[in-house]
Amino acid sequence: MLTIRLKDGKDKAARRHHPWVFSGAIDSISEDEKGFAEVLSTDDYFIAYGWYDAKSHIPLHLLSWNRNDKADESLIRKLTRESIARRKAFFSLPDTTAFRLIHGDADNLPGVAADAYGKEIRIIVSSRFADDNLHIIAEEMNSCLHPSIIEAVTDKQFSSLEGISERIRHFRDGKEAKEEGTRENARFIESGIWHEAAPGKGQKSGFYCDQRDNRNAIERYAEGKTVLDLFSYTGGFTLHALRGGALSVDSVDSSESALRHLLFQIHLNEDKGTIPQRSRERVTITDTNAFEYIRGVEDGKYDMMILDPPKLAKTKGNLENAMKAYKDLNRIAMMKIKKGGIIATFSCSGALTREDFRKVLEWAAADAHKDVEILHTLSQGEDHPVRLAFPESEYLKGYILRVL
Ligand code: SAH
């Protein structure tokens, strides 16, 4: 095991259980090899156990602040088991079979995002740590949950940053296995609505289960409404608006395949009887740039809008431009919506704080000359935990607004 000492005065965040340590905070290192490390202060006070890899864009990830832990493979197994155990309540839900099992650093497993989709597990790998230790995590998940298959896909956004190859790996019975031929979509339910996720492609691991609670929140407002679902993807919000009794839903996304899948899922839910019959006739799909589309919307046409854009602030570096884009989108929505209308608006940019997002909405309302009230303050589902010591773990922020 490596011994790493942190610089005096630069070890405060680590002592407060923030998991990221950059090279500027490292005072000395016993040998420059990747692997488990005991992390100490300059006066040999124990801080944490971590994983060091100089080639990672975060060279030292802290994994445990408990001195009694063992810093070896068994720690990864323990963290995996504990993360799954914290989701215990999800396993007995009658009407939801998709949820997150491991949420990266917030569960002390950096770069590992693992989601259950019914009997399947899908993992998105976004760090060297995750790439190197995937077989251990898969084996442990298998012994806890016995999934039909575990599929792990490298996150494209991180492959060059972390220097890991883009690939898809499969594990059956906990062992890495070659997959030949095509696999069926994974079918699952969320709050009683049926979905499918195609293997090895799609966005995220196929579905955005972080929005689960927020989809339920908008459903209560949908009755009799003319709804615009901007950035609809495969229709998470659209399906809930239909179940809530929307008159019509216009779903807009730049991904044609996502929109086709949205229509398939409407048929699937009509068949299952979870949304009203003939819902399909109430829905239009438009494959286009949503930022442009909203400019062309007729004033007062919609009395409900859902705005769920992709991550616009990828880093702190483009925060200012991203804030402008969020403001513009929300300003136009506030101007165009019918009097008394409802806007459910989201930002999934980790680099944008909740305070900043709220400020953006305040500016948007001021420029639109509208009085706007906040009906609900929304966040990511509890299976995507937010750690107080790690503010970056709060990435999804949302509001349900009424435009007066
Ligand atoms: N609301 C969805 C998730 C949205 S994710 C749900 O509940 O499942 C963001 C979506 O925005 C993605 O589907 C992506 O294809 C789409 N997107 C990205 N840029 C876009 C653009 N400029 N115009 C329209 N859609 C865009």
pLDDT digits (tens, 9 = 90+) for 3-25: 999 999 999 999 999 999 999 99
The answer to whether 225 touches 247, Cβ cutoff 8 Å, is yes
User: At 12, is the secondary structure helix, strand, or coil?
Assistant: helix
41 Cα: distance to centroid of ligand 1 (angstroms)? 45
**Residue in the block written with tokens 């136009």:** 332
- pLDDT computed for residue 130 by the predictor: 98
* Ligand 1 center from residue 310 Cα (angstroms): 6
Q: Give tens-digit pLDDT for 239-249.
A: 999 999 999 99
CA distance 138 to 149: 10
Which residues are registered as beta bridge partners of 2? 37
Would you place residue 64 in the very low, low, confident or very high pLDDT band (cuts 50, 70, 90)? very high
Check pLDDT > 80 for residue 188: yes
Q: pLDDT at position 342, please?
A: 98
Q: Which of 230, 234, 254, 256 to mutate to test the pocket of ligand 1 (most atoms within 8 A of CB)?
A: 254
- DSSP secondary structure, 41-72, as one string: -TT--EEEEEEE-TTSSSSEEEEE--TTS--S
Distance 209 CA to ligand 1 centre (A): 14
| DSSP 8-state class, residue 338 | P
Using the mean position of ligand 1's atoms as its centre, give its distance from the Cα of residue 90 in Å. 27
User: For residue 181, what pLDDT is reported?
Assistant: 82
Least reliable range by pLDDT among 33-42, 144-153, 311-320: 311-320
Supply the residue whose CA is at minimum distance from atom 12 of ligand 1: 233
% of the chain exceeding 70 in pLDDT: 99
- pLDDT the model gives residue 182: 86
- What average pLDDT does this structure show over 354-377? 98
Q: Is the pLDDT of residue 29 over 70?
A: yes
Question: In the predicted model, what is the mean pLDDT of the chain?
Answer: 96
Reported pTM: 0.96
Q: What is the Cα–Cα distance from 375 to 221, expressed in whole angstroms?
A: 11
* Ligand 1 atom nearest 236 alpha carbon: 7
Measured in Å, residue 286 CA sits from the centre of ligand 1 at: 12
CA of 19 to the centre of ligand 1 (A): 30
What is the mean pLDDT of the segment spanning 225-241?
98
- CA 110-115-116 angle, to 5 degrees, is 145
Pocket mutation for ligand 1, best pick of 157, 188, 233 (most atoms within 8 Å of C-beta) = 233
Q: Three-state DSSP class for 400?
A: strand
pLDDT at position 158 is 92
Average pLDDT over residues 134-149: 98
20: left (phi over 0), alpha (psi -120 to 50) or beta: beta
Pocket test for ligand 1, best of 231, 257, 308, 395 (most atoms within 8 A of CB): 231
Q: Can you name the residues that pair with 372 across neighbouring β-strands?
A: 403
What residue's CA is closest to ligand 1, atom 10? 231
Question: Per residue in 160-170, pLDDT tens?
Answer: 999 999 999 99
Residue 328 C-alpha to ligand 1 middle, in angstroms? 17
pLDDT of residue 201: 65
pLDDT tens, 265-324?
A: 999 999 999 999 999 999 999 999 999 999 999 999 999 999 999 999 988 889 999 999
Residues lining ligand 1, judged by CB closer than 6 Å? 203, 208, 211, 231-234, 236-237, 253-255, 258, 289-291, 308, 310
Residue 350 has pLDDT above 80, yes or no: yes
pLDDT of residue 202: 58
